[in-house]
Amino acid sequence: MGLLDALKQEAMSAVQQYAGDHAGLQQEVMNLVHTGPGGLSGLVQQFQNAGLGQIVQSWVSNGPNKTITAEQIQQALGNDKVKAIAARLNLDPNALSQKLAGILPAIVNQLTPNGQLPNATPPTAKR
């Protein structure tokens, strides 16, 4: 199994732990982390671009995770994206943001066990 496959398995395990039985929410979080523009690094960059760099960096680092509010989630992801995800899940956008505020710090933290974002492209093996 490759590095990316292992990270996807870890992420899915964490998502299940924090999102509970809501399969749609699990899939949406996986999409944010893995299939969004830039994957996990792109997601972290979105938070940094929204002025939330210290918060998101605490999730990546080995120290304690700083909390984030539902409003800050909407700020980072954008209201349109939050509304679109909420509509797909038949949830209120504020309720979704609140759930993501609880889930995303734990997911990012679990996917960065060494305090660094994983390299998106595994190095090629030398022969």
Q: Is residue 35 part of a domain?
A: yes
What is the secondary structure of 73-110 as a DSSP string?
HHHHH-HHHHHHHHHHHT--HHHHHHHHHHHHHHHHHH
Give how many domains the chain has, as a whole number.
1
Closest CA to 25 of 15, 33, 35: 15
pTM as predicted: 0.79
Position with higher pLDDT, 87 vs 19? 87
The pLDDT of 29-56, averaged and rounded, is: 91
Instruction: Domain of residue 88: give its range.
Output: 3-111
What crossing angle do the helices spanning 79-89 and 23-30 adopt, rounded to 10°? 150
- 34 DSSP assignment: I
Average pLDDT, the chain: 83
The pLDDT of 113-121, averaged and rounded, is: 75
Q: Say whether pLDDT at 117 is over 50.
A: yes
pLDDT tens column, 69-100? 999 999 999 999 999 999 999 999 999 999 99
Task: Return the pLDDT at 124.
Answer: 43
Task: Return the pLDDT at 16.
Answer: 65
For the domain that residue 107 is a member of, what is the CATH number?
1.10.10.690
